[in-house]
Amino acid sequence: MMIAKKSIKFLTVLALVFTSFGVFAGGGDKKSSENDGGKVDTKEEIKNYIKHHLADSHDFSLFSYSNDAGERKHVGFPLPVIVWTSKGLKTFMSSKFHHNDDGKLVVDAGGVKLTKIHSKIYELDANATTVAFDETHHATNAHKVLDLSITKSVFGILLAGLLMFLGFGSLAKGYKKGAIPTGVGRVLEPLVLYVRDEIARPNIGEKKYKRFMPYLLTVFFFIWILNLLGLTPLGFNVTGQIAVTVCLALFTLVVYITNGSKDFWAHTLWMPGVPKILRPVLAVLELAGFLLIKPFSLLVRLFANITAGHSVVMGIAALMVLLKTEFGTVGATGISFLLTMFLTIIELLVAFLQAFIFTMLSALFIGMAVEEHDHAHDH
């Protein structure tokens, strides 16, 4: 039984690695050369491909290939485009853009002309039929719209939410049947206890940790699942989007600010035990730390580590393309395979580690805010 489980895990890693190879060998960014069937085989094309992977997208592309006629075919599915324009709310499927991302294709959405440039949707001026660009390739007759679309990252967030709902629903049903859960709940229970005993209790305290367990569990599993999805061939990079990490950090900020004790605010705004002339200065520094520095450290750490991890894994996988002239196809593929497999295994650890660090720091900041001081003991 143990051998079978190990074999499944090993085959899963191999699938991830081979998929990353296949992406570079035949996948291709729309910015790559059209004469070679869209293959990514130069350093510049690899850089563009990695940037394209890290960015968000209005459609969900699984892979691309060239048919016998040399036409580029994309396999995936469209996502809903929801934008607020000068004529109100407009909705349509992203397939209308036909993977066009350079402003050449203009879509008529209920009397409003829209185009997509560098994954951003623009509305053309009233009398314009094509997009005009200046010498720096910036549109001169189009302006951005309020984009509320279901992008690939939003789809990933919804998928992670669904998995959490199903997983914790199974855990709750398992507890109704008995003290020992079964099925998926059996896997989740040790992680729940880990968050409780290793993160919440030590940092928040025995008296108040239960109140914040729902938030800490949600943050931990949400980040962990999204990090794992980012290692699959689906191409998610949700926690590598700065907007997502900013929102997560703001949620933590709101939690510890709104639950701050009287002692916390007293020590922050008028710190006892120091000369009164220094207290306003210290109050400004303390407020800057809690309102700016701590949330900034949360969002940057998660964003930078996940983005760097994706970039490094894809860059190492691209060695099979860059080194094939020196080591041959077999040698370059072997080197790239071994390094990519090694880094993918490390990224599995990083996926858990980043979820743990974000949750642990959130619990630490909450614990600092809700802490009650024993004034008699301090005196």
pLDDT tens digits, 247-294: 999 999 999 999 988 888 877 778 777 777 878 888 888 888 888 999
The H or E element containing residue 78 is strand 72-78
Q: Could you tell me if 285 and 229 lie in one domain?
A: yes
338-357 pLDDT, tens per residue?
Answer: 887 888 888 899 999 999 99
Q: Are residues 210 and 266 in the same domain?
A: yes
* Residues 127 and 218 both lie in one domain: no
How far from chain centre, in Å, is Cα 4?
Answer: 32
Q: Which residues pair with 74 in a beta bridge?
A: 64
Whether residue 145 is found in the same domain as residue 159: no
Residues of the domain holding 175? 153-378
- Same domain for 224 and 338, yes or no, is yes
Q: What is the pLDDT of residues 86-134, one digit of tens each?
A: 888 999 888 888 767 777 788 888 888 888 887 888 888 877 778 887 7
Average pLDDT across the chain, whole number: 79
Residue 215 lies in a domain: yes
204 in the same domain as 329: yes
Same domain, 136 and 158: no
Give how many domains the chain has, as a whole number.
Answer: 2
Residues 340 and 247 in one domain: yes
User: Residues 358, 210: one domain?
Assistant: yes
Most confident of 38-42, 228-232, 271-275, 333-337: 228-232
Q: Which residues contact 42 (CB under 8 A, 6 or more apart)?
A: 33
Question: Do residues 99 and 211 both lie within one domain?
Answer: no
Whether 72 and 64 have beta carbons less than 8 Å apart is answered as yes
* 299 contacts 365 by C-beta, under 8 angstroms: no
Asked whether residue 199 falls in the same domain as residue 122, the answer is no
Helix (H, G, I), strand (E, B) or coil at 326: helix
* Axis crossing angle, helix 262-269 with helix 324-370, rounded to the nearest 10: 100
Q: Check residue 379 and give its pLDDT.
A: 44
145 close to 85: Cβ distance less than 8 angstroms: yes
Tell whether 141 and 157 lie within a shared domain.
no
Dist. CA 136–CA 139, nearest whole Å: 9
Res. 363 pLDDT band, cuts 50 70 90: very high
Residue 353 lies in a domain: yes
Q: Which pLDDT value is given to residue 328? A: 66
Mean pLDDT to the nearest integer, 236-255: 93
127, 149, 171 - which closes a domain = 149
Predicted structure pTM score: 0.81
